[in-house]
Amino acid sequence: MPLPLAKRAEKDPVRPGGVPLDAAQVLAFRRRLINWYRTNARQLPWRGVNDSYRTWLSEIMLQQTRVAAVIDRYNEFLTKFPTIVALALATEADVLASWSGLGYYRRARMLHHAAQFIVREHGGKLPSTALELRTLPGIGEYTSAAIASIAFGESVAVVDGNVERVLLRITGRPEVATAAARSFVQAQASALVPRRRANSQGNPPGDHNQAMMELGATICLPRAPLCTQCPVYGLCKTRGEHLTPVRAPQRSLPASYLLSLRKRGIITEVLLEKRPDHASLMPGMYELPQLPEAVVEGREPLLRLRHAITNTNYYVRVFAARGPRDRTLRKAVPIAEGVLHWVRTSRLGAEPLTGLARKALQRLDVMQVRPVRIDAQPDLPEEVHLPRPAGTADEWNDDDFDEL
């Protein structure tokens, strides 16, 4: 059990710069971690597969996205694009449509470009070293290390947010994001990752890196670490008494959208706005046309929901015309006519929709909901309490937090 703060300070003071593990502690850490991982790792579809494309895809999808949200998309994506060549031959619109709802669409574009580059320059085979992988679009230091170690057994440390948190706490360094802290963590992570010897069984570097990330995702949690269940508790300098960084304040903003439907025989179409191809956020994606707040004053929305993007919570309302003659809302859409499109509702699943558009259209029964399996995962976002805009408390659904 953790000691009271004062006693711990006497016994084992936490130094501002952190105390790196010595050689004996490094060996003990590796052993305890891997033994714990072998019996406690979550069963995830991308684990234990001997296919570097799958490892790559999972690492890209998992960037800033919850495991539960990735699981179904990962399987669907592989059904549609089972190989690097199949992905390279697809259209960008097809790739974006399969990514819809996962957010951060730049990742999908980069994945697609990288697949085309691999087919063109590497005969369709993913390079096997972290150094070569970093030359591909959308693959940086973290992702290259993850693929190289997990898929090819290279002894290179993976440092994501989870690993960084674990190492800062283990060594007693305050959780403050500075360049010096990052290089301290990188050095400690590199010292911990095992070397792959000629007679090594399995993949020690890949397993170690996955175990580090798993420890951060399931035990050394950001707000309330489960120290009593931690396999490296005996080596940890902080044991739940870490200094946490101040969180950025959350903003709340209203956002209103138009739902406009039309019938053409047996076909129903919905009016969508295509974001400009040069937009910095979600270029080329489809969304419901946005309305100025002044225009919807006094109108009753069809739907209310909340949508969170990084540190902003959008209180979203969707409005429809009051009758066939009511063109007020349609005329109030403040965009050029050329970027509005009527899209068949039966085709919505194949279009690159923003996460918010998909959610609203599904809630309004305009778009079919695909069956999604959400397993209980320990890294689901924690409950957030926020100031609300005008409206009664139960008008807003609290389960609407999502990423773009």
* Residue ranges that bind ligand SF4, judged by CB under 6 A: 166, 169-170, 219-220, 225-227, 230, 232-233, 236, 238-240
Which is nearer to ligand SF4, 89 or 226 (by Cβ)?
226
- 59 catalytic? Reply is yes
Stretch (H or E) spanning 190: helix 179-192
Give least dist CB 121 to ligand SF4, A. 42
Which candidate in 59, 164, 287, 351 is catalytic?
A: 59
What 3-state class would DSSP assign to 329?
Answer: helix
Which residue lies nearer to ligand SF4 by CB, 226 or 374?
226
CB 365 within 8 Å of CB 328: no
First to last CA, the chain: 40
Q: How far is the CB of 342 from ligand SF4 (least distance, A)?
A: 53
> For every residue of 239-295, which 3-state class applies, written as one string?
CCCCCCCCCCCCEEEEEEEEECEEEECCEEEEEEEECCCCCCCCCCCEECCEECHHH
Least separation in angstroms between residue 244's CB and ligand SF4 is 11
Strand 251-259 vs strand 312-320: parallel, antiparallel, or unpaired? parallel
Minimum CB distance to ligand SF4, residue 190 (Å): 18
Nearer Cβ to ligand SF4 (235/271): 235
Q: What angle do CA 180, 185, 187 make, to 5 degrees?
A: 95
Q: In what order do the strands lie in the sheet with 312-320?
A: 290-291, 251-259, 312-320, 303-309
Please, what is the minimum distance in Å from the beta carbon of residue 26 to ligand SF4? 15
46 or 233: CB nearest ligand SF4: 233
Select 59 or 214, whichever has its Cβ closest to ligand SF4. 214
Report d(CA 83, CA 328) in Å as an integer.
49
Q: Tell me whether residue 211 or residue 219 sits nearer to ligand SF4 (CB atom).
A: 219
Report which of 100, 394, 386, 102 is spatially closest to residue 253, judged by C-alpha positions.
386
C-beta of residue 321 within 8 angstroms of C-beta of residue 271? no
Amino acid, res. 87: L
Nearest distance from C-beta of residue 227 to ligand SF4, angstroms = 3
Count CB atoms within 10 A of the CB of residue 307: 20
Active site residues: 59
